[in-house]
Amino acid sequence: MERKIVAWGLGLGIGAAIALAPIAASAAWEPTRPVEFIIPAGTGGGADQMARTIQGIVTKHKLMTQSMVVVNKSGGAGGEGFLDVKNSKGNPHKIIITLSNLFTTPMATGIPFNWKDLTPVAMLALDEFILWVNAEKPYKTTKEYIEAAKAANGTFKMGGTGSKQEDQIITEAIQKSTGAKFIYIPQRGGGAVAVQLVGNHVDSTVNNPIEAVAHWRAGKVRPLCIFDEQPVHYDEKMVDGMAWKDVPTCKSQGLDVEYLMLRGIFMPGGVDKEAVAFYVELFKKVRATPEWTDLMKNGAFNTTFMAGDDYAKWVAREEKRHEELMKAAGFMAAK
Amino acid sequence: MAENTQSADAGGPSQRAVEAGVALGMVGFALVVIVGSLQVGIGWGDEGPKAGFFPFYVGLIIFAASVINLLQARARIAGERLFAEWSALRQVLSVVIPTAIYVAVLPWVGIYFASAVLIGFFMRWLGRYGWALIAAVSVGVPLAFFLVFERWFLVPLPKGPIENLLGL
Amino acid sequence: MEELTNLFHGFAVVLQPFNIMVMFIGIILGVLIGVLPGLGGANGVAILLPLTFTMSPTSAIIMLSCIYWGALFGGAITSVLFNIPGEPWSVATTFDGHPMAQKGQAGEALTAAFTSSFIGALFAVIMITLVAPLVANFALKFGPAEQFSVYFLAFCSFVGMSKEPPTKTVASMMIGFALAAVGLDQVTGQLRLTFGFESMLNGFDFLIAVIGLFGIGEILLTIEEGLSFKGGKAGINPRVVFQTWARLPRYWATSLRSCLIGCWMGISPAGATPASFMSYGIAKRASKNGDKFGSGEIEGVIAPETAAHAAGTAALLPMLALGVPGSPTAAVLLGGLLIWGLQPGPLLFVEQKEFVWGLIASMYLGNIAGLIVVLTCVPVFAAILRIPFSIIAPLILVICAIGAYTVHNSVFDVVLMLVFGVLGYVLKKCNYPLAPLVLAIVLGDKAEETFRQSLLASQGSLTIFWANGLVGTIMALGLIALFWGAIQVGWTRLRLAASPASSGRA
């Protein structure tokens, strides 16, 4: 009965052409069981928001005959999720979305895991980082803020997600670049970090755009600069006539720090090429939907897409970069 | 809870001995916690209190409380009070041992088959039911779980050779 | 008054026949999820999701929120019948709920639990309707120090009330803290107390400890005392619901107090678990029958259930307004929002009026629907206890094993569950209270985390815990709760010494 309703919606819906594609390519591999989509982070954060949006898109446009089950495995800074995928060698019904903890968790904790234990599928997007302050605070520019932080003499509090992960790496880089000292206060998830900023319990955060956008639009927080080499191109007005593209780069504001984070998909090691190809195609279809475009716009994502060897090479480079960053910050686990 | 203080002829471990054993076990646990905390550092680092700061003091408190419990077990509990009679403990073990076997074979034979055997075993051994009823319950219940978890809610549970044979 | 208009519009939306049907489907699924440990809200969403895309977002969120209500109600069932709390906030319900079932009063216990849940949730929804914007601002006042003070208050109002020897209570609670500390330290990002074992990485999950200590431990105790559940003599009495209802009004003070505690805990994002423990602890002190708590006192079921559900409901408000879910089940709703491209946040109330008020209206009606569904089933649930022990015991063991396995999909957790089971049996026979241990496992890491975050922010100065009125007041309440016994004794002496004449004013 339910199937029928869904099938009707499918036939009439805008995704008809997309939905028929898997039938045309019936010889290729397709999931025969529900696909488990693992998030190595808590609920409400950037990775969680993206994964759940994807779940919605895949279900709504019927991109897969089997269903997609989203599971948060955030234990041990995401180590729980990564080890689970590592130990599911050869299982083509499991995929995982990553954040920088793909690199930082094994480095900081010494748990036996490396991205090479997984099969890279595709890069979905790169996530930006923005320096946010509470809108009630007087500083309007990065310069004013850094001056205030220096004057505060090490009492300014920077909120961030987790410990020895991307947010703390950026904080560390800001300290190096400016000489200002911050107290880094780790929270469990990006959503909680943003709320702490709104409640004035920390002085600034380096939240991903998607994590703070709701508070920005409500006029509670203010973006000072974006940690990228050029401003993003989204020009839709968000609040007070300001759009994402009006957020200047940190470099242009005298804060020479750049950081982008991978939002990519991996599978367990030892899976068939056909299975990987299926998921690459699946995510290409996901990226073609209007819902995905909305998410990208809302969260000011950098929409680079990569798959196959390009992607693997990119990940390898990124791992090197993180190793250097982590070493420089003194975050590596004691051997 | 401890009604079985009399009928000494049945015998059993004394409450005092068991309590002392539990307290000693906790002392051991406390030492493990303290050692683990020392490994990660118990002082004050760059990030405030180090990772072992809190568990270290927790370990110390467990240690102190358990030592007091140990002394009190000797001082306060009458020597002749029984923890439980041997016959009662045998009953307890008759649940613990089959369950332990059940847990041990789970990864190999799958949870559904193991559950069927466990249910059947209990019904026959403790309940002395007829085989027809045993067969109905011990097959029906895992089957119902299979439908609810694997088919309906899409939760994969450990499966073994039998499920593979059936192609599930 | 615009809100009320919106609300009535919301009612009109929810009361469409299709939405009512959707509501009952959600409730029944939710109850199933609440009853079977091992099924989580995520699974419910996964199976309902395809269905929800055939309807409007409002109908869809009604269905998902009804899963939430169903799960809240369902959690009490296993707590009362088998001493197995499926969710952290049901733990306190077992303290008196299960003894009631053992005395043959399972029907009464379940009715009291369901009705209290309903009252708690209803109270919180009314509060959300009337003062939503104020409440969201109140939630913002809670930084790490304030959050810690709430956990502190929860611990204080709960300890110092057990009958067991104090050193045993302390040992039990500290073991809980130690177990909670295993795994990754959130503040330094370091692994601790894992001793190199991969399976220790996730720490000790509350559910595994509780299934073992309470569920398995109970089976072992039962079998030692002779092979039957004492609830076996309970007759099936279809009028039990009304008979219990007749008794409930006399506990109105406990209910009201628990509602207030629950709402407060739900908004300050401490959540339903501290609310239930705190409410139980305070009810025990305030009640005339306080010393009978733990042996099957109906008030001991009312207090935690009311508070837990008031908190669970009130917690939805910060989730909608701030985007931070207070519990895994609330996260399900958050996921629902995201799937439909609705961004939770302060503007949700402005930009998605119809949706928000539809949701709030569905809270009222979903709750009523849930109450009807579970109450009609009370005699059936109570009858489960009539199944002979030799059949039900292995069933419980199997359900426990499945529940433990699904926490992290690991067999190691099932082994751990059995170890906790034997431990629970031995500790109980040795007069160690288990509740402080469980409370510490549930709240230990959060309490430690917020404590250290506060110290980080204050650079090691403890003055942060009385730096402002809010945190100072909560800490002071905690200290009063901790030393309540001593204060009471002192007060009585003082009064007797001052004027014997005033003794009429008790």
**For chain B, which chains pass the contact test of at least 3 CB pairs under 8 Å?**
A, C
Q: Which CATH number is A62's domain given? A: 3.40.190.150
Chain C residue nearest residue A35, CA to CA: C46
The domain spans of chain B are 15-76, 86-166
Q: What percent of chain B has pLDDT over 70?
A: 92
List CB contacts (< 8 A) between B154 and chain A.
34, 67, 69
Q: Is the dihedral angle over the CA atoms C145, C149, C155, C156 positive or is it negative?
A: positive
Q: What is the mean pLDDT of chain A?
A: 87
Confirm whether A14 is domain-assigned.
no
Chain B residue nearest residue A183, CA to CA: B47
Q: Tell me, yes or no, if B154 comes closer than 8 A to chain A by beta carbon.
A: yes
Question: Cβ B47–A163 below 8 Å, yes or no?
Answer: yes
List CB contacts (< 8 A) between C457 and chain A.
157, 183, 185, 201
pLDDT of amino acid A24: 44
Q: Tell me, yes or no, if C187 comes closer than 8 A to chain B by beta carbon.
A: yes
Confirm whether A22 is domain-assigned.
no
Confirm whether A289 is domain-assigned.
yes
Question: Cβ C189–A77 below 8 Å, yes or no?
Answer: yes
List CB contacts (< 8 A) between C144 and chain A.
185, 201
**Joined tokens for residue C103:** 């005395």
List CB contacts (< 8 A) between B102 and chain C.
397, 401
- How do residues B61-93 score in pLDDT, each as one tens digit? 999 999 999 998 888 777 778 888 888 898 899
pLDDT of amino acid C160: 61
pLDDT of amino acid C481: 84
Question: Cβ A34–B154 below 8 Å, yes or no?
Answer: yes
Q: What is the DSSP string of C72-95?
A: HHHHHHHHHHHS--SSGGGHHHHH
Confirm whether A7 is domain-assigned.
no
> Above 60 in pLDDT, residue A10?
no
pTM of the complete model:
0.86
A vs C, Cβ pairs < 8 A, gives 168
Residue with structure tokens 């609705």?
A: C342
Same domain, A134 and A222: yes
Smallest Cα distance from B48 to chain C, Å: 5
pLDDT of amino acid C234: 52
- Residue to substitute from B3, B90, B153, interface C, most C β-carbons within 10 A: B153
- Residue to substitute from C39, C49, C147, C458, interface A, most A β-carbons within 10 A: C49
User: Of B24, B111, A217, A5, which Cα lies nearest the Cα of C398?
Assistant: B111
- How do residues A182-237 score in pLDDT, each as one tens digit? 999 998 888 889 999 999 999 999 999 998 999 999 999 999 999 999 999 999 98
Question: Cβ B141–C398 below 8 Å, yes or no?
Answer: yes
Question: Cβ C408–A75 below 8 Å, yes or no?
Answer: yes
Task: Kindly indicate the confidence band of residue B160, based on its pLDDT and cuts at 50, 70 and 90.
Answer: confident
Residue C54 has its nearest CB partner, among A9, A80, A333, at: A9
List CB contacts (< 8 A) between A33 and chain B.
156
User: Of A151, A131, A134, A129, which Cα lies nearest the Cα of A201?
Assistant: A134
Same domain, A121 and A140: no
Task: Answer whether C80's CB lies under 8 Å from C98's CB.
Answer: yes
| Domain span holding position A296 | 34-127+261-329
- The amino acid at A42: G
Residue B152 DSSP label: I
Q: What is the DSSP string of C147-190?
A: HHHHHHHHHHHHTT--SS-HHHHHHHHHHHHHHHHSEEETTTTE
Residue C345 has its nearest CB partner, among A67, A77, A214, at: A214
Question: Cβ B47–A184 below 8 Å, yes or no?
Answer: yes
Same domain, A292 and A221: no
Residue B91 has its nearest CB partner, among C193, C224, C391, at: C224
Q: Which of residues 46-85 of B touch C (CB under 8 A)?
A: 47-55, 58-59, 61-62, 65-66, 68-69, 72, 83-84
B vs C, Cβ pairs < 8 A, gives 190
Smallest Cα distance from B58 to chain C, Å: 6
- How do residues A64-98 score in pLDDT, each as one tens digit? 988 888 888 887 788 889 988 998 899 999 999 99
> Above 60 in pLDDT, residue A5?
no
List CB contacts (< 8 A) between C39 and chain B.
148-149, 153, 155
Task: Kindly indicate the confidence band of residue B155, based on its pLDDT and cuts at 50, 70 and 90.
Answer: confident
**Joined tokens for residue C138:** 């109140």
Question: Cβ B96–C418 below 8 Å, yes or no?
Answer: yes
Q: Tell me, yes or no, if B167 comes closer than 8 A to chain A by beta carbon.
A: no
Task: Kindly indicate the confidence band of residue A25, based on its pLDDT and cuts at 50, 70 and 90.
Answer: very low
Question: Cβ C168–B2 below 8 Å, yes or no?
Answer: no
pLDDT of amino acid B36: 92
Residue with structure tokens 């978890």?
A: B149
Q: Tell me, yes or no, if B139 comes closer than 8 A to chain C by beta carbon.
A: no
Count of structural domains, chain A: 2
> Above 70 in pLDDT, residue A7?
no
Q: Tell me, yes or no, if B97 comes closer than 8 A to chain C by beta carbon.
A: no
List CB contacts (< 8 A) between A334 and chain B.
none
Within 10 A of C450 (CB to CB), how many other CB atoms are there?
24
Same domain, A123 and A269: yes
Same domain, A121 and A135: no
Chain A residue nearest residue B39, CA to CA: A334
What does each C-alpha distance from B118 to B97, B142, B166, C14, C90 come to in angstroms?
Answer: 11, 11, 21, 47, 28
- How do residues A279-316 score in pLDDT, each as one tens digit? 999 999 999 999 999 999 989 999 999 999 999 999 99
**Joined tokens for residue C442:** 């549930």
Confirm whether A29 is domain-assigned.
no
Confirm whether A16 is domain-assigned.
no
Same domain, A152 and A240: yes
Task: Answer whether B142's CB lies under 8 Å from B115's CB.
Answer: yes
Task: Kindly indicate the confidence band of residue A46, based on its pLDDT and cuts at 50, 70 and 90.
Answer: confident
**For chain C, which chains pass the contact test of at least 3 CB pairs under 8 Å?**
A, B
Smallest Cα distance from C432 to chain B, Å: 10
Same domain, A247 and A272: no
Same domain, A148 and A224: yes
Last residue of a domain, one of A217, A233, A253: A253
Residues with Cβ within 8 Å of residue C31, at least 6 apart in sequence? C70, C71, C73, C74, C77, C370, C373, C374
Same domain, A184 and A248: yes
**For chain A, which chains pass the contact test of at least 3 CB pairs under 8 Å?**
B, C
pLDDT of amino acid C500: 55
Q: Tell me, yes or no, if A65 comes closer than 8 A to chain B by beta carbon.
A: no
The domain spans of chain C are 2-504
pLDDT of amino acid B162: 85
Q: Tell me, yes or no, if B47 comes closer than 8 A to chain A by beta carbon.
A: yes
> Above 70 in pLDDT, residue A18?
no
Question: Cβ B47–A67 below 8 Å, yes or no?
Answer: no
More confident residue, C160 or A324: A324
List CB contacts (< 8 A) between A163 and chain B.
47
Same domain, A192 and A109: no
> Above 60 in pLDDT, residue B8?
no
> Above 60 in pLDDT, residue B4?
no
Smallest Cα distance from B82 to chain C, Å: 11
pLDDT of amino acid B45: 73
For residues A163 and A165, what is the distance between their CA atoms, to the nearest angstrom?
A: 5
Q: Tell me, yes or no, if C415 comes closer than 8 A to chain B by beta carbon.
A: yes
User: Of A253, A215, A252, A213, which Cα lies nearest the Cα of A236?
Assistant: A213
Which portions of chain C are predicted below pLDDT 50? 231, 501-506
Q: Which of residues 353-392 of C touch B (CB under 8 A)?
A: 388-391
